[in-house]
């Protein structure tokens, strides 16, 4: 997994990188297309230094390769740094990539979140247990108020699932949190999150939090699977 290439980029570099990255993800710049640093410099009226930094960032994301004789070559999707939040965001912004990306993120959550919930029931600190219960209560309050598609609901939901990963005690799960956050953010950003969240989903968040607070590992895992069943069904509806 690579760190996000745009997190510490200068505004100019980020702008150029976003432009080229989106065009590669969308297929506008197809696999095998070649260009040079001078092409980047000329197109965006930037220095070769910024063009070179852009090329290195694209290489880090697995979107291009470079060589002295060939120049810069666009790579196939098999090379993409698919866990990088930058690549995930570009895929979510691309209409034909969005359902594929949301499905992949949902399936990743299904694979690891129930185990994270199970582990959290035995590994979480008292402070983490209490915060999970409070976050579940916040989600319930906002959901019942018809605010499921708001930034406040998204913030609480992202924190709930990030804290779940942190509480699991599994470093690799924790490292996946930024990627999984993109799934939650993407559903809200593209109008897929309902104002009135599914009742079973809200209840399952409460059940996960309470089971973790009580140290009931099997119940925490089971309740997490209820959340993800609802997410999977919603994702299937979105795809159609």
CATH number at residue 43: 1.10.10.10
Q: Nearest Cα to 76, choosing from 26, 34, 32? A: 32
Residues 6+ apart with CB under 8 A from 145: none
Residues 66 and 183 in one domain: no
Q: What are the distances in angstroms from CA 132 to CA 139, 150, 203, 210?
A: 11, 20, 13, 8
pLDDT tens string 9-55: 588 999 999 999 999 999 999 999 999 999 999 999 999 999 999 99
Answer whether residue 234 is part of any domain.
yes
Shared domain for 138 and 224, answered yes or no, is: yes
Distances from the Cα of 188 to the Cα of 24, 120, 228, 232, angstroms: 24, 27, 17, 16
Q: How many domains would you assign to the chain? A: 2
- What does the alpha-carbon distance between residue 239 and residue 233 come to, in Å, rounded to a whole number? 10
Residue 3: pLDDT band (50, 70, 90) is very low
Q: Catalogue the E-assigned strands of the chain.
A: 34-35, 64-67, 71-74
Last residue of a domain, one of 79, 105, 122: 79
What is the extent of the structural domain holding 183?
95-239
pLDDT at 240: 53
d(CA 35, CA 53): 15
Say whether both 127 and 199 belong to one domain.
yes
How much is the pLDDT for 5? 58
Q: CA-CA distance, 69 to 218, in Å (whole number)?
A: 58
Residue 110 and residue 116 in contact, taking contact as beta carbons nearer than 8 Å: no
Please tell me whether residues 173 and 136 are part of one structural domain: yes
Whether the predicted model's global pTM rises above the 0.85 cut = no
Same domain? 137 vs 190: yes
Q: Which of 166, 167, 234 is nearest to 200 (CA)?
A: 234
Q: What's the pLDDT tens digit per position in 88-141? A: 999 999 999 998 998 899 899 999 999 999 999 999 999 999 999 999 999 999
Report if residue 3 sits inside a domain: no
CATH code of the domain covering residue 189: 1.20.120.530
- Report whether pLDDT(4) > 70: no
Which pLDDT score is estimated for 2? 47
Tens-digit pLDDT profile for residues 142-167: 999 999 999 999 999 999 999 999 99
């Amino acid at each position: 997994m690579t760190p996000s290439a745009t997190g510490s980029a200068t505004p100019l570099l980020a702008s150029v990188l976003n432009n080229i990255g989106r065009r590669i993800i969308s297929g506008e710049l197809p696999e095998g297309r070649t260009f040079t640093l001078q092409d980047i410099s000329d197109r965006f009226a930037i220095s070769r230094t910024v063009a070179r930094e852009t090329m290195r960032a694209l290489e880090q994301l697995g979107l291009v390769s470079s060589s002295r004789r060939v120049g810069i070559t666009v790579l196939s999707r098999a090379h993409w740094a698919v866990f990088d939040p930058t690549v995930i965001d570009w895929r979510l912004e691309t209409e034909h990539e969005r359902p594929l990306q949301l499905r992949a993120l949902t399936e990743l959550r299904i694979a690891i979140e129930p185990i994270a919930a199970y582990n959290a029931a035995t590994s979480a600190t008292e402070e983490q247990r209490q915060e999970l219960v409070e976050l579940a209560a916040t989600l319930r309050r906002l959901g019942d108020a018809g605010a499921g598609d708001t930034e406040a609901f998204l913030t609480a939901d992202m924190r709930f699932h990030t804290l779940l990963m942190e509480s699991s005690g599994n470093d690799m799960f924790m490292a996946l949190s930024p990627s999984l956050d993109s799934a939650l953010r993407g559903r809200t950003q593209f109008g897929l999150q309902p104002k009135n969240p599914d009742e079973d989903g809200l209840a399952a968040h409460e059940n996960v939090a309470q089971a973790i607070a009580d140290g009931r590992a099997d119940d925490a895992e089971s309740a997490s699977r209820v959340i993800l069943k609802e997410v999977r069904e919603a994702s299937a509806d979105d795809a159609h």
